């Protein structure tokens, strides 16, 4: 899942070598936190959040069903 | 990516040999210099320069899209084949395999997200990009037929009861199918309300 988020993020940004995804797993949830170059933040969010929503949709489709999965972007 | 490595005395010579072997012209390749040695022999008589280059055929947008889609599927844990068809004005990628329901999602939501992201990536990486349409085992065609049926049966009910009906939220492409199906209807008219992704088609009596 972490690799999926990394792949998707890298395919959308200009600064591909500044894409980091941190995974934090607890008993009932998984947090995937994306960090990108500041000029690329808009590309990951998209107009009205459309891009980040699409990334979440793909992650949720392939996520284990027993845990809540959160995909967030940090500054 | 198809490539060849060639050793020759000069870059020009190496490139010429490589293009002959790959049977393409220079505009379609990427050239990397791997090694370059040049030693002037005694008084310049024995010139033993040598150059080694790698010449690779550039992927076009359709091939890039196939590669990206395959990588995404692998990372989603989906075992499937991807077929590519070039059509006038767009590229069609068809995914085939077993148990691909999760790739489609509710009302095609997951498939639409996949198509949207692949298009964005291609738009970013290519000056001359074409639209990429992704389908899973003929799903889009079946969906179109279902939407037409939904449009006709809802229109029939609206006409019978004389009361408008609101359909569930749809993508612009899906709404278009509803509007086109009913555009020549004498009994009902269609319009949309709301903001994407919650925009809905409304079918209402004409009078």
pLDDT in tens, B107-132: 888 999 999 999 999 998 887 789 99
Last residue in a domain, options B137, B170, B187:
B137
Q: Which domain holds residue A50?
A: 2-74
Size of interface A-B (CB pairs under 8 A): 58
Q: How many domains does chain A have?
A: 1
Please give the full DSSP string across A32-55, using - where no structure is assigned: EEEE--GGGHHHHH-GGGHHHHHH
Q: What is the C-alpha to C-alpha distance for residues A46 and B87, in angstroms, rounded to an integer? A: 28
Selecting from A43, A48, A58 the residue whose C-beta is nearest the C-beta of B110 gives A58
Which string of b and e fits B2-19 if b means at least 16 CB within 10 Å? eebebebeebeebbebbb
Q: Taking each helix axis from N to C terminus, what angle separates B61-75 and A2-12, rounded to the nearest 10 degrees?
A: 160
CATH of the domain at B197: 3.30.1370.50
All residues of chain A having their beta carbon less than 8 Å from the beta carbon of residue B121 are 11-12
Look at residue B72 in the predicted model and tell me its pLDDT: 96
Interface probe, candidates B61, B70, B75, chain A, greatest A C-beta count within 10 A: B75
Q: Which of B185, B107, B98 has its CA nearest to residue B140?
A: B107
Last residue in a domain, options B77, B111, B137:
B137
Look at residue B106 in the predicted model and tell me its pLDDT: 86
Same domain, B94 and B81: yes
Last residue in a domain, options B16, B33, B57:
B57
In 10 A of CB B178, how many CB atoms?
24
**Range from A48-57, B22-31, B176-185 carrying the lowest mean pLDDT:** B22-31
Same domain, B85 and B103: yes
Same domain, B66 and B115: yes
Name the residue in chain B with its Cα closest to that of A49: B197
CA-to-CA dists, residue B163 to A60, B154, B157, B160, B186, angstroms: 38, 11, 8, 8, 15
Look at residue B9 in the predicted model and tell me its pLDDT: 87
Q: A39 — contact with chain B (CB < 8 Å)?
A: no
CATH of the domain at B120: 3.30.300.20
Look at residue B125 in the predicted model and tell me its pLDDT: 84
Nearest-CA distance from A47 to chain B in Å?
11
Query: pLDDT tens digits for chain A (75 residues)?
Result: 899 999 999 999 999 999 999 999 998 999 999 999 999 999 999 988 999 999 999 999 988 888 899 999 987
CATH of the domain at A19: 3.30.300.20
Which string of b and e fits B27-42 if b means at least 16 CB within 10 Å? eebeeeeeeeeeeeee
Same domain, B80 and B22: no
Look at residue B207 in the predicted model and tell me its pLDDT: 73
- The answer to whether the Cβ–Cβ distance between A7 and B72 falls below 8 Å is yes
All residues of chain B having their beta carbon less than 8 Å from the beta carbon of residue A62 are 75-78, 102
- The answer to whether the Cβ–Cβ distance between B77 and A51 falls below 8 Å is no
Nearest-CA distance from A2 to chain B in Å?
9
Q: Which domain holds residue B46?
A: 3-57
Same domain, B51 and B13: yes
Q: How many domains does chain B have?
A: 3
Name the residue in chain A with its Cα closest to that of B197: A50
In 10 A of CB B73, how many CB atoms?
21
Same domain, B190 and B160: yes
Selecting from B77, B113, B125 the residue whose C-beta is nearest the C-beta of A54 gives B113
């Amino acid at each position: 899942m972490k690799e999926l988020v990394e792949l998707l993020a890298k395919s959308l940004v200009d600064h591909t070598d500044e894409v980091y995804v941190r995974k934090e797993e607890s008993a009932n949830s998984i947090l995937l936190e994306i960090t990108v170059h500041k000029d690329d933040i808009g590309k990951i969010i998209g107009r009205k959040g459309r891009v980040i929503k699409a990334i979440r949709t793909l992650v949720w489709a392939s996520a284990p069903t027993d845990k809540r999965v959160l995909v967030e972007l940090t500054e | 990516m198809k490539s060849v490595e060639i050793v020759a005395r000069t870059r020009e010579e190496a490139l010429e040999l490589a293009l002959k072997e790959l049977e393409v012209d220079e505009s379609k390749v990427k050239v990397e210099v791997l090694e370059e040695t040049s030693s002037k022999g005694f008084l310049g008589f024995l010139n033993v320069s040598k150059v080694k280059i790698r010449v690779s055929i550039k992927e076009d947008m359709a091939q890039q899209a196939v590669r990206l889609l395959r990588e995404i599927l692998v990372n989603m844990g989906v075992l499937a084949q991807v077929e590519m068809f070039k059509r006038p004005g767009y590229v069609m990628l068809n995914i085939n395999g077993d148990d691909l329901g999760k790739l489609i999602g509710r009302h095609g939501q997951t498939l639409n997200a996949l198509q949207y992201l692949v298009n964005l990536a291609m738009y970013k990486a290519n000056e001359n990009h074409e639209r990429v349409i992704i389908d899973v085992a003929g799903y889009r065609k079946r969906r179109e037929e279902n939407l037409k049926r939904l449009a006709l049966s809802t229109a029939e009910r609206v006409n019978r009861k004389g009361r408008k009906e609101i359909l569930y939220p749809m993508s612009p492409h899906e709404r278009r199918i509803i509007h086109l199906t009913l555009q020549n209807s004498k009994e009902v008219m269609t319009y949309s309300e709301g903001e994407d992704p919650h925009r809905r088609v409304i079918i209402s009596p004409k009078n």
